Chains A and B, each alone.
Chain A
Amino acid sequence: MGGGDGSLSLPRWVGWAWLVPGAFLLAFLAYPLVALGARILDGLGQSALVPVGTGQVAALAAAQALASTALALAVGLPMANVVSRYRFRGRALAQALVTIPFVLPTVVVALAFRSLVGPGIPQGLFLVVVAHAYVNLAVVARIVGAQWAQHDDRHEAVARTLGAIRWTAFRTVTLPALVPSIAASAAVVFVFSFSSLGIVLLLGGGSTRTLESQVLRQTSVLLDFPGAAATAAIQLVVVSAILLGGAALSRRSPRRVMRPIRLRRPTSRSGTIGVRVTSAGIAVLVLAPVLALAVDSLRSRGSWSLAWWQAIGSVDAGTTRIGSPLSALGTSISYALITAAIAAVVGGLAAVAVLGRGPTRWIALVAVVPLGVSAATVGLGTLLAYGRPPLDLRATGLLVPLAHALVAVPLVVAVVAPALRGTDDRRLAVAACLGARPTRAFLTAYGPVLRIVMLASAALAGAVSLGEFGAASFLARATNPTVPLQIVRLLGRPGEESYGVAAALAMVLVAITLVLVLLVDRLGTSRQPAAVGTP
């Protein structure tokens, strides 16, 4: 697959496909980062460019991120074990459930946790850590699960016959084999928690902060742009170092032949109980916050009511005085559509460039870089580059979707590139031999797969845009908030109504996100038959 010499018959434009993603990344990643750097240089010479206390915030954020990572691993590893290795009734559902927290917008997760714990547990570090672990369960379960499913159980059997008790066999044989994937997932969870914004703002209670929330505060409250730029730069360095470290550790895995995954049934009674308890635990853990949120959206003054659902359409319940909370949904959906279109084109072309020859195929690797740049860095950089004269694009309403597209492009590449690489390129040659011109041959060979993965990745990009909070909080106009911004603003106002309306709005976002993710999942499944007939 993909091993033939099909590049000979690729249309010439594939060789130029990198230009669009290249220009996009230059304009909306490199230039904003340069603008950020320039702003730091502007501030040089001023006293205390890096605001006092930044080191302390960074240290506390690192401790918080470590705790979040440890908790996500502690809960996620048993889930990875059960979901990726065992056959049991409801396994597909359990797999889908594990993914839900990751796809939910962070603002929604934060609100759901507020609903779940009520006023009983004060906001602060504990809640932030729990919510971060919740969001990242899927990261651990998916990344570690994929490697665990490949792990040959007989290694433990050998260890047992050599005198190892079950725990020793796990500790000395299984765990070392999983180190690469544990390191990779831990790096992702750490970075996510270290640069978290929505959850920290809504659950941190003011005492728990990250550099990300500092950047927002410096920009929007203190109007200290050089300081914010310096803080963002520090975060960028830390995050890049962690991601590179994680990548280096995860590469230290011995070469291994991929084996077909064989799901097993638990062989002992304790194993059966373990699988049942874990799968039930997944359902309870994942659904409890979402159900609490749903209940809060339906409870008014101590009784069941649709009052908040009715209020989301009323201007009085809004925060802008010109639109209802629901009008934010219109804004979010239009941003999501533009994001989906831009990200699909840019990411799709970056993925297509991989098929070509020469150095330009590395554009797909470059296109993944935005993953390591935090939302606030993207937001602030874009604001500095395009949010003021001579080039002020704020009035166009394009800044938010452009920033969202930057965040979504790596995901599009991650979906499309493997699908294209996995397509048998000898079909190109077959089509060419049958008289198809290069572009027609390309469409014949890759068109069916492209159609599906482009749609899936566009839906994914749309879902990302709908839930994105960090960049939007820098770039959206005050009169035109997105849904996550609207939710945060509602929560900033006292009163049961604001909370109830925020909960109802959040549930709308939950529903739309789940539909989009289901669509992506369905499209992913429908792509399977394309593999039939490929060697």
Chain B
Amino acid sequence: MTSRLEAIDLAIGHGTVLADGLSLSVAPAEIVAIVGPSGSGKSTLLASLAGVVPALGGHVLVDGIDVTAWPVHRRRIGMIFQEPLLFPHLDVGDNVAYGLRRLGQNRREARAQALEALAWVGLDGYADRPVERLSGGQAQRVALARALAPRPAVLLLDEPFSALDAELRQRLAADVADLLRREATAAVHVTHDLDEAAAMADRVLRMPPEPGQPLARVPR
């Protein structure tokens, strides 16, 4: 799954402009990290790329196709949030199968493929568990499997490890980076932790301190 994600002159914000003139290009299978302090608009940028929050201006392109006007569900951009946000009424397997079902797979096919995705994240044998019996790290792994199972063009990660303790965070970040590379999935990873960003990403960018300024590359 190799896709390119581009943002051109993107203006973001909830009603009022938080940042504008943002341009970004993520090559197929590349992992780009974006760092910046709280409130700088990192999460809003991801939400705008996914279409969860409408962009206030500019364009989002996937493989050269302008998807700015497309609804969220058509963009094939997966997203993982700070909290796992697992669907509480579904067990682990059905959570992971959710996106596959939306692709038209029947329950059995989707469930079988979900088991495979659970194996990617090291959770074989967890499919029948209710989600409230998972630890924080396990839940975030399930969220990752759920996002990757339908093979999104790009995966956006919005500080997915920030709620975990330091050791677990490090381990999970390394596992996720491995998995993304193995699956050759392009990803944008937002974090306020520069070390985590550097460890995971091919390239690290910094959110601009003022609206109108570009994303700046952080030297390694």
Residues of A within 8 A of B (CB): 152, 154-155, 157-166, 168-169, 172-173, 176-177, 179, 254-256, 265, 267-268
Contact = CB atoms under 8 A, between A and B. Distances in A.
B132 interface: yes
Given A158-B146, A179-B89, 16 more contacts: A157-B47, A158-B81, A158-B85, A160-B52, A161-B77, A161-B79, A162-B73, A163-B102, A163-B103, A163-B150, A165-B73, A169-B73, A176-B87, A176-B89, A254-B132, A268-B54
Nearest to B88: A254
11 contacts: A152-B85, A159-B87, A159-B98, A161-B152, A162-B98, A163-B150, A165-B71, A166-B71, A172-B87, A172-B98, A268-B54
Contact of A177 (B15, B53, B89, B99): B89
B85 A161 contact: no
A268 B83 CA distance: 25
The contact size tier of chain B is 35 or more
Interface string B71-113: 1111111110101010111000000001100110000000000
B3 to A, nearest CB: 15
Contacts, number: 77
B88 A162 contact: no
A162 B102 contact: yes
B56 to A, nearest CB: 11
A157 B79 contact: yes
A267 B53 contact: yes
Contact of A161 (B50, B89, B103, B131): B50
B73 A164 contact: yes
Contact of A157 (B72, B131, B132, B143): B72
Contact of A164 (B15, B102, B147): B102
Contact of B73 (A163, A179, A268): A163
A451 B53 CA distance: 48
Q: Binding site of A, secondary structure by majority: helix, strand, loop or mixed?
A: helix
A439 B78 CA distance: 61
B137 to A, nearest CB: 18
Contacts of A164: 73, 98, 102
Given A163-B73, A163-B102, A158 B79 contact: yes
A157 B15 contact: no
A256 B88 contact: yes
Contacts of A169: 73
Contacts of A177: 88-89
Given A177-B89, A254-B89, A162 B15 contact: no
Nearest to A264: B14
B87 A162 contact: no
Contacts of B71: 160, 165-166
Interface in B143-182: 143, 146-147, 150, 152
Contacts of B103: 163
A415 B15 CA distance: 40
Contacts of B98: 159, 162, 164, 172
A168 B78 contact: no
Contacts of A152: 85
A161 B78 contact: yes
A160 B50 CA distance: 9
Nearest to B131: A254
A366 B78 CA distance: 51
Nearest to A176: B89
B52 A161 contact: yes
A173 B94 CA distance: 12
A262 to B, nearest CB: 12
A157 B147 CA distance: 12
A256 B85 CA distance: 12
A160 B53 contact: no
Given A157-B72, A168-B102, A173-B87, A162 B54 contact: no
Contacts of B50: 157, 161
A160 B70 CA distance: 12
Given A254-B132, A267-B53, A163 B89 contact: no
Residue of A152, A162, A256 with most partner-chain B CB within 10 A: A162
A167 to B, nearest CB: 11
A265 B53 CA distance: 12
Given A162-B146, A163-B99, A268-B54, A155 B73 contact: no
CB-based closest 8 A-B pairs: A162-B99, A163-B102, A160-B72, A176-B89, A254-B88, A157-B52, A161-B79, A163-B73
Nearest to B54: A267
Given A157-B72, A265-B15, A267-B54, A162 B85 contact: no
Given A255-B132, A265-B15, A160 B73 contact: yes
B127 to A, nearest CB: 17
A419 B5 CA distance: 54
A176 B86 CA distance: 13
Contacts of A255: 132
Nearest to A165: B73
A485 to B, nearest CB: 48
Nearest to B146: A162
Contacts of B143: 158
A267 to B, nearest CB: 7
Nearest to A159: B98
Contacts of B130: 254
Contacts of A160: 51-52, 71-73
B60 to A, nearest CB: 13
